[in-house]
């Protein structure tokens, strides 16, 4: 993950040692950041909802998509951050 992604920017490029980055001004939503900043968070969220796993994808790779046991994508998680259940 580039430094641009780690600070919640949609896109950007950094040099090899991440000392100089050119990040987009577009930011991801707090929900997208919470579920997709780490690869495992989306899967944990989706498994808690009864799905087999979750993958971050979509046009900017920041949308958590839950996948059923049959491999069917059940749609992008688009709830607001208030809907994120932490317990």
Over residues 3-40, the pLDDT tens digits come to 788 888 988 888 888 788 899 999 999 999 999 988 79
Residue 16, domain extent: 3-83
The reply to whether the predicted model has a pTM over 0.85 is no
Where b means 16+ CB within 10 Å and e means fewer, 46-84 reads beeeebebbbbbeeeebbbbbbeeeeeeeeebeeeeeee
**Mean pLDDT of the residues in the chain:** 79
Q: How many domains does the chain have?
A: 1
pLDDT of residue 84: 45
Q: How far apart are the C-alpha atoms of 59 and 14, rounded to whole Å?
A: 20
């Amino acid at each position: 993950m580039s430094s641009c992604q780690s600070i919640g920017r949609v896109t950007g490029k950094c040099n090899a040692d991440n000392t100089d980055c050119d990040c987009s001004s577009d930011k991801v939503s707090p929900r997208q950041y919470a579920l997709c900043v780490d690869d495992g968070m989306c899967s944990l969220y989706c498994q808690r909802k009864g799905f087999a796993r979750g993958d971050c994808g979509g046009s900017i790779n920041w949308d958590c998509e839950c996948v059923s046991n049959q491999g069917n994508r059940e749609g992008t998680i688009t709830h607001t951050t208030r809907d994120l259940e932490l317990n």
